[in-house]
Structure 1
C-alpha cells in the first residue's frame, strides 16, 4: 500500500468531488461518504485491480492506494489528480467573466467550481459513449452493468472500472442482452479494441486537435462525445459543449430566451474562448440556481 498527500487549493469545493463520484447510489465501483470526507474508488490501472481511498481535508487530500499487484506510480498519480479535479484552474475564467452580465452573477454564487474528472481517459470516453442520447439514471444503470461485465473485483470487494483490454474481450450479445442498444454496444467494442491493439492511443500529452480527429474517425463517436471526453478525460480547458442539451437549456435560461440550436450555442460559447470548459461547467451549475 502506498500513501500520497496532495495539496488542495484555497476554497476547494469538496462537494463537487462527492457529487460526481457518488452518482451511482448502488456504489458498485465508488463509495462516497461525504460526512467522513471520504471517496473510495476501484479502477484497473496497468491491468491491476486498484483501490483509491481518498480523504479530503481543508487543505489537502490524503490518499491511500491498495493494488492487488503493482500499478505504476504515474498511473496512480494521474488518476488521483483527475478524481480531485485539479487539472483545470477555475480562476482564469472567473477573472474573465467577473463583469460579464450573464456569467458574473452565476460565478459569484458558486465561486471555485471545479471540473471533476474520471479516473482515467478510457473511463471518461466509455462513460461518454454510454451516456450518449439517454437520460442520466439509465446511463448510470448501464455503466453499472458495464463495470460488472468487464471489470474485476478488488480484494476489498469493491469492483474496478475496466481497461480497454477487458472490454475488448466482450461479445456484443453480453451488452445487448443487458439493455445496451446495438449501436452503443458496437461503438464501445469498436473503441475498446482500437485502444487495446494500440491503433488508438489515449495520450494525455497529445494535442487536443489531433485527439479530436482520431476519435471522430471512429464510427459511432461524434463531436459531443469527443468534447465531453476531452473535458472529463483530458482536462482540456477549452471544450465546446454546444451539442449538450443541458448546456443549451442553460444558455436559454441565462439569456431569457428559448433554448438555442447547436449553431447558436456554439456562437455563444465562442465568446468565452479559451475557457469554454468552465463556461459549460457553470452553465450546468446554473440549472440548479434560482433564475435571474
Structure 2
C-alpha cells in the first residue's frame, strides 16, 4: 500500500456504488454538504484541495499537529527496522526497504467509517460492501447539478442509519449494534470526528453492546491513530509469521507509538500474491 496507488488499491473493493468512484488515476465521492470532492493521482502522489480527502490519502492536513503523511511513515519505518534487527526478522526489514513509507489509509467521513467498521466485523470485504450498498440507499440523493457518473447520493447520516438500519441483512445483533452506535453519534452522546480524543472515543464506543476491540481499533486506525495493533486479527497474525515475527506481542512492545505501521506491514504480507500476467 505504498503511496496513493496503494490507497486506491485499498479503496477499489470497498467502494460503495452510487457514493464513490475509484479510478486508476484518482478518486471521487459524495460528502455531506452535500458536495462532490475528488483527488487525482499523478506520479504516485495524490493531489486534492479537500481536507477530508487529504485525510483519506494520508496527506498533511493544514493545521494538524505533529508529523503527518510520508514523514510519519518514514519515522515508523525507522522504528520497525530497528525492531526487526533486534528480533531477527530480516524479512520485515527487506519489506520496508522494498516498499518504504507504507501509506495508512484514512477516512473522508468519520461517521461513515464507524458504520463501515461495525458492518465489516467478521465478514469478507465483498460481503461488507454489499451490506453498505443496501445502507447507501437510505442516503439523500444529490442535487441534479452535482450528480456524476457513478455518484448520485451521499452516504446516509447517522440519524438515517439509526432509523432505517433494518435494511441490513445478516445477524440481528449486528444490525442492532449499527443502529445503536448511529443513534449515539446522532444524538451527540458520543463524538466521532477528526477532532475527537481517540482514547475517549474508543472507551465510549466500547460501552455500547455489540461494539468490540476490533471495531474501535479499526476505526481509530482509519482516523489516523499511529499506534493501533489488532492482535486478534487473523491476517495480522498470518502476516507477522510471514515476516519472520514469531513473538508478535514482544515485537509490538518495541514498536510502541508506531504499531499501526506494523499492522499495515502484517496485512500487506498476508495479502494474496498478485496473479501472474
| 1:1-292 equivalence runs, <5 A | 13-24=3-14, 27-34=17-24, 37-43=25-31, 45=32, 48-58=33-43, 61-63=46-48, 77=51, 79-86=52-59, 87-88=68-69, 89-99=72-82, 100=84, 101-102=88-89, 103-150=92-139, 152-153=141-142, 155=144, 156-157=147-148, 158=151, 159-170=153-164, 172=166, 174-175=167-168, 179-232=169-222, 234-255=223-244, 265-288=248-271
Deviation at 1:151, TM superposition (A): 5.2
Native 8 Å contact 1:242 1:269 kept in 2:
no
Give the SS at the match of 2:164.
Answer: coil
TM-score (norm 1): 0.77
String of CA shifts for 1:88-131, please: whole Å, max 9, x gaps.
Answer: 52111111133424221121121121011121111221111011
Q: 1:217 to 1:154 in 2, by over 3 A?
A: farther
Q: Distance in 2 between matches of 1:241 and 1:19?
A: 22
Q: Equivalents in 2 of 1:212, 1:266: separation in Å?
A: 21
CA contact (8 A) 1:29 1:161 kept: yes
| Distance in 1 between residues matched to 2:243 and 2:140, nearest whole Å | 41
Using the TM superposition, name which of 163-172 and 212-221 deviates more. Answer: 163-172
Total equivalences in the alignment:
251
CA deviation after TM superposition for structure 1 residue 50, in Å: 1.9
Unmatched tracts of structure 2, length 5 or more: 60-67
Going by fraction, where is strand more abundant, 1 or 2? 1
Supply the distance in 1 between the matched residues of 2:210 and 2:39 (Cα, whole angstroms).
35
Q: Contact (CA 8 Å) 1:122, 1:202: kept in 2 or not?
A: yes
Query: For residues 143 and 265 of structure 1, do their structure 2 counterparts lie closer, same or farther at Cα, with a shift above 3 Å needed?
Result: farther
- Quick one: structure 1 residues 192 and 63, their matched pair in 2 at CA, closer, same or farther if it must change by over 3 Å? same
* Inter-partner Cα distance in structure 1 for 2:190 and 2:15: 33
Question: 2:5–2:41: 8 Å Cα contact kept in structure 1?
Answer: no
For 2:128 and 2:44, locate their aligned partners in 1 and report how far apart those are by CA, in whole Å: 34
Structure 1 residue ranges without an equivalent (≥5): 1-11, 65-75, 258-263
Query: For residues 94 and 238 of structure 2, what CA distance do their matches in structure 1 show?
Result: 18
TM-score (norm 2): 0.81
Distance 2:271 2:190 in 1: 37
The SS at the match of 1:170 is helix
Which structure: greater helix fraction?
2
- The answer (yes or no) to whether the contact 1:82–1:120 under 8 Å persists in 2 is no
Write out per-residue CA displacement over residues 162-187 of structure 1, whole angstroms, 9 at most, x where no aligned residue: 22122122153x32xxx232011101
8 Å contact kept, 1:21–1:30: no
What SS does the aligned partner of 1:98 have? helix
